[in-house]
């Protein structure tokens, strides 16, 4: 069982447990003896099952189980200790009674007396469940105390409502405990965390060059209407087209791109996704530059010295901006094109898939390079049918010793790129994206849905990790949680329990070797993207990467996954480090890496 499904199973069991205890409590309050006992037994069973899932999660990593061990387990224990003995006692006394009628009446009265303990157990488990769902990692005293306050208050109210009132002393004590826990918990939860504001200083570009061949482009962002699958849809576009113009350069050129904003009210920038530019050219509004507002312009300039497949997109209101079409392809080639070299930027515009399928014959023996780009916020599945192929590069970096593959699909994370190469056979070849033919050299019918998926961590030839020391280690635990965004509460996507802008920046020094341990304890995939650097994958879920060195800028951290990656801090500045499901990034999953 994967850790991801274990996380889901644990949640399901917790819900059943809560339902069992609360249902048992309600049934006993209504004097349904059998139902109450049945539900309580079920709840007890679920509680033990949950002990197993929590133990398994703790073994998979403390991050997955912290709040469950520290908050849910004590609350469950209290639940079982309070409710268990009362249930057993009820049963024993029943067997002592001889007269059937008397027994029935007695047990009816008796079953009502276990209502409050059962409800208490239900409240305790509900509190624990809410802590997991609304707060998550890391476990905090504040969340624990708020849960206790809720449990005590709910129990006290139930006690009064059910008529079996506790003595004044007990009731007052309960009120005092609840209020104290509430006040302390709120205080601890609301205490401001230390999150230094991100300094934003705009330096002039450090890519001022002279002498090299300069490739000049102008991109004008504006609202427009484009035709997709025979339908006119509203879009935001560079130069009126989606995707924007394909920017190409040869190693040794200098790229100079003038960005103009015609009428995108919320501003635009250009971020060179996967291309490690100097910080001032990175295009993150509020961090490396100000957003380019309507009527303004900004000139980006950098050397084309990293051959590979990249893309560019706006980083201002990036979720909406990219989704609406403000993106395009950037390809840096080591030499002029030989053979067929095609980019396939996959996107979903207003629910319709791009690019438009195309078919063109390619002569047998011609070398073909398909540059697959995923510009959406979710993973896509690409399958190349009709030929053996190799994955020559991932995220712009060439792989070491890629072996030929056949009938194998690749999963490309949001923002990721795979270069597939093959020599055109005499028979037709087709590329399918999520089962839809996007590029073909002729008619191909192939069912690719059942193909195995390539695991890049075991593909190609390994070479040793280039570093022997690691200077700095950071752990990023990805989750969801309630967060106060200004005054509005939101269900944010969080890193280490905080959401942007409250996540403390990661501080490194120039030439540090830095490791990230990225843990996903949420139920959805998070495609991780660090700006300005490529990270080398060391291991996933404790298993070292055994294939070609993987220098990635976008990788899917699936639910329950633990990735260990490392990079050399060689590009000074302030860099965004975020989830490339841009809706998640907008909902808090963004932090920054800065150099001291």
Partner 1 sequence: MRKALVIVTTVLLVAFVLQFVFAAVGAFTKPAGEGAFALHSVTGMAVIPVLTLLTALFAVLAKAPGRLVGLAILPLGLVVLQALIAMLANASTDAAGVSTPFGLTIAGLHALNGIIAVHVVVSVHQAARKLAQPAPAGVTQVAVREGEPV
Q: Provide the 3-class DSSP secondary structure of residue 26.
A: helix
> Per the structure block, which two tokens stand in for 300?
């980006």
DSSP string, 112-151: HHTHHHHHHHHHHHHHHHHIIIII-SSP-HHHHHHHHHHH
Binding partner 1 (rule: CB under 8 A), the pick from 517, 524, 538, 539 is: 524
234 binds partner 1 (CB under 8 A): no
Please give the residues from 338 up to 357 whose contact with partner 1 meets the rule CB under 8 A.
350-352
Q: How far is the CB of 30 from partner 1 (least distance, A)?
A: 7
User: Which of residues 56 and 411 has its CB atom nearest to partner 1 in the complex?
Assistant: 411
Q: Going by C-beta distance under 8 Å and a sequence separation of 6 or more, which residues neighbour residue 25?
A: 36, 115, 116, 117, 118, 119, 120, 121, 122, 158
* DSSP bridge partners of 551: 536
Binding partner 1 (rule: CB under 8 A), the pick from 69, 474, 583, 595 is: 583
Q: How far is the CB of 518 from partner 1 (least distance, A)?
A: 17
Binding partner 1 (rule: CB under 8 A), the pick from 3, 6, 13, 18 is: 18
User: Which of residues 83 and 247 has its CB atom nearest to partner 1 in the complex?
Assistant: 83
177 binds partner 1 (CB under 8 A): no
User: Which of residues 303 and 490 has its CB atom nearest to partner 1 in the complex?
Assistant: 490
Binding partner 1 (rule: CB under 8 A), the pick from 55, 113, 214, 378 is: 378
Cα gap 22→54, rounded to integer Å: 21
> Per the structure block, which two tokens stand in for 525?
């995939």
Burial of 133 (C-beta count, 10 Å sphere; 0-12/13-18/19+): middle
Q: How far is the CB of 15 from partner 1 (least distance, A)?
A: 6
CB 242 within 8 A of CB 354: yes
Q: Going by C-beta distance under 8 Å and a sequence separation of 6 or more, which residues neighbour residue 160?
A: 171
Cα gap 51→55, rounded to integer Å: 6
592 binds partner 1 (CB under 8 A): no
User: Which of residues 361 and 489 has its CB atom nearest to partner 1 in the complex?
Assistant: 489
Please give the residues from 392 up to 421 whose contact with partner 1 meets the rule CB under 8 A.
411
Stretch that binds partner 1, among 12-20, 168-176, 179-187, 543-551 (CB under 8 A): 12-20
Q: How far is the CB of 330 from partner 1 (least distance, A)?
A: 25
Write the CA distances from 140 to 145, 180, 341, 346, integer angstroms: 9, 16, 53, 42
Stretch that binds partner 1, among 103-111, 176-184, 399-407, 556-564 (CB under 8 A): 556-564
Stretch that binds partner 1, among 8-16, 276-284, 415-423, 584-592 (CB under 8 A): 8-16
Q: How far is the CB of 462 from partner 1 (least distance, A)?
A: 24
390 binds partner 1 (CB under 8 A): no
Q: How far is the CB of 55 from partner 1 (least distance, A)?
A: 22
Binding partner 1 (rule: CB under 8 A), the pick from 256, 407, 434, 512 is: 434
Query: Which residue, 94, 132, 153, 165, is CA-closest to 18?
Result: 132
Q: How far is the CB of 522 from partner 1 (least distance, A)?
A: 8
Total residues interacting with partner 1, rule: CB under 8 A: 36
Query: Which residue, 347, 387, 350, 352, is CA-closest to 370?
Result: 387
35 binds partner 1 (CB under 8 A): no
Binding partner 1 (rule: CB under 8 A), the pick from 491, 505, 517, 541 is: 491
Binding partner 1 (rule: CB under 8 A), the pick from 29, 44, 128, 420 is: 29
Please give the residues from 106 up to 135 whose contact with partner 1 meets the rule CB under 8 A.
126, 130, 133
Q: Provide the 3-class DSSP secondary structure of residue 152.
A: helix
Query: Which residue, 205, 301, 316, 200, is CA-closest to 257?
Result: 301
Q: How far is the CB of 507 from partner 1 (least distance, A)?
A: 33
Q: Provide the 3-class DSSP secondary structure of residue 110.
A: helix
Q: How far is the CB of 43 from partner 1 (least distance, A)?
A: 14
Identify the residue whose tokens are 């999660």: 57
DSSP string, 431-470: EEETTEEEEESS------TT--B--GGGSS-----S-S--
CB 410 within 8 A of CB 391: yes
Backbone angles phi, psi at 574, to 5 degrees: -120, 115
Stretch that binds partner 1, among 136-144, 175-183, 374-382, 438-446 (CB under 8 A): 374-382
Binding partner 1 (rule: CB under 8 A), the pick from 92, 95, 100, 163 is: 163
Classify residue 280 by its DSSP letter: G
E strands, 424-561, where? 430-433, 436-440, 472-485, 488-495, 506-508, 513-520, 526-530, 535-540, 543-544, 551-552, 554-557
Cα gap 184→486, rounded to integer Å: 22
576 binds partner 1 (CB under 8 A): no
Site string for partner 1, 297-336 (x = CB under 8 A): --------------------------x-------------
Q: How far is the CB of 22 from partner 1 (least distance, A)?
A: 6
Binding partner 1 (rule: CB under 8 A), the pick from 33, 86, 315, 380 is: 380
CB 326 within 8 A of CB 238: yes
230 binds partner 1 (CB under 8 A): no
52 binds partner 1 (CB under 8 A): no
381 binds partner 1 (CB under 8 A): yes
Binding partner 1 (rule: CB under 8 A), the pick from 52, 436, 523, 546 is: 523
446 binds partner 1 (CB under 8 A): no
11 binds partner 1 (CB under 8 A): yes
Q: How far is the CB of 538 from partner 1 (least distance, A)?
A: 21
User: Which of residues 42 and 595 has its CB atom nearest to partner 1 in the complex?
Assistant: 42
Cα gap 528→541, rounded to integer Å: 16
User: Which of residues 230 and 464 has its CB atom nearest to partner 1 in the complex?
Assistant: 230
Binding partner 1 (rule: CB under 8 A), the pick from 24, 205, 456, 559 is: 559
CB 550 within 8 A of CB 457: yes
Cα gap 277→406, rounded to integer Å: 36
Cα gap 119→161, rounded to integer Å: 12
Query: Which residue, 589, 569, 502, is CA-closest to 198?
Result: 502
Judged by the rule CB under 8 A, the positions of this chain that interact with partner 1 are 8, 11-12, 15, 18-19, 22, 26, 29-30, 126, 130, 133, 157, 161-163, 323, 350-352, 378-381, 411, 434, 453, 491, 523-525, 556, 558-559, 583
């Amino acid at each position: 069982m994967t850790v991801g499904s274990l996380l889901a199973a644990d949640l399901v069991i917790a819900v059943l447990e809560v339902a069992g205890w609360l249902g048992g409590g309600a049934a006993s309050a209504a004097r349904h003896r059998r139902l109450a006992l049945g539900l309580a037994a079920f709840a007890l069973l679920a509680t033990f099952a949950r002990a197993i899932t929590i133990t398994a999660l703790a073994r998979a990593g403390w991050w997955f189980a912290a709040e469950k061990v520290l908050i849910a387990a004590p609350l469950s224990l209290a639940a079982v200790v309070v409710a268990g003995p009362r249930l057993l006692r009820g049963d024993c006394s029943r067997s002592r009674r001889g007269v059937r009628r008397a027994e029935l009446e007695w047990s009816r009265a008796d079953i009502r007396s276990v209502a409050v303990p059962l409800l208490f157990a239900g409240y305790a488990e509900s509190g624990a469940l809410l802590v997991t769902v609304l707060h998550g990692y890391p476990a905090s005293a504040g969340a624990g105390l708020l849960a206790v306050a809720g449990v005590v208050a709910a129990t006290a109210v139930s006690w009064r409502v059910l008529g079996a009132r506790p003595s004044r002393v007990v009731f007052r004590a309960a009120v005092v405990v609840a209020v104290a826990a509430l006040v302390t918990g709120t205080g601890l939860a609301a205490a401001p965390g230390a999150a230094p504001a991100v300094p934003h200083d705009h330096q002039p570009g450090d890519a001022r060059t002279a002498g090299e061949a300069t490739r000049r482009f102008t991109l004008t962002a504006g609202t427009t209407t484009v035709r997709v699958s025979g339908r006119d849809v509203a879009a935001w576009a560079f130069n009126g087209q989606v995707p924007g113009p394909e920017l190409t350069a040869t190693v040794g050129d200098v790229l100079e791109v003038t960005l103009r904003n015609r009428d995108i009210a919320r501003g635009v920038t250009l971020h060179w996704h996967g291309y490690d530019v100097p910080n001032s050219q990175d295009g993150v509004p509020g961090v490396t530059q100000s957003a380019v507002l309507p009527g303004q312009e900004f000139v980006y300039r950098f050397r084309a010295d990293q051959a590979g497949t990249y893309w560019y997109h706006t980083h201002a209101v990036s979720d909406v901006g990219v989704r609406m079409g403000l993106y395009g392809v950037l390809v840096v080639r080591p030499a002029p094109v030989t053979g067929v070299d095609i980019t396939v930027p996959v996107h979903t515009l207003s629910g319709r898939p791009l690019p438009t399928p195309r078919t063109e014959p390619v002569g047998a023996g011609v070398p073909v390079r398909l540059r697959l780009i995923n510009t959406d916020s979710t993973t896509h599945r690409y399958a190349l049918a009709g030929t053996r192929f190799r994955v020559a590069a991932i995220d712009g970096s060439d792989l070491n010793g890629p072996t030929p593959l056949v009938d194998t699909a690749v999963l490309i994370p949001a923002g990721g790129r795979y270069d597939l190469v093959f020599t055109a056979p005499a028979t037709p070849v087709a590329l399918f994206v999520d089962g839809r033919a996007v590029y073909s050299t002729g008619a191909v019918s192939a069912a690719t849905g059942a193909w195995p998926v390539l695991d890049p961590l075991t593909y190609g030839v390994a070479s040793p990790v280039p570093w022997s020391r690691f200077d700095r280690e950071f752990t990023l635990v990805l989750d969801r949680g309630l967060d106060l965004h200004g005054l509005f509460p939101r269900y944010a996507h969080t890193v280490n329990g905080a959401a942007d802008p409250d996540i403390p920046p990661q501080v490194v020094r120039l030439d540090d070797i830095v490791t990230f341990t990225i843990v996903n304890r949420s139920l959805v995939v998070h495609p991780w993207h660090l700006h300005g650097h490529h990270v080398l994958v060391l291991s996933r879920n404790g298993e070292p990467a055994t294939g070609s060195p993987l220098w990635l800028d976008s990788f899917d951290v699936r639910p329950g996954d633990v990735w260990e990656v490392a990079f050399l801090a060689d590009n000074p500045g302030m860099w965004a480090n975020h989830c490339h499901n841009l809706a998640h990034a907008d909902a808090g999953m963004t932090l920054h890496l800065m150099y001291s």
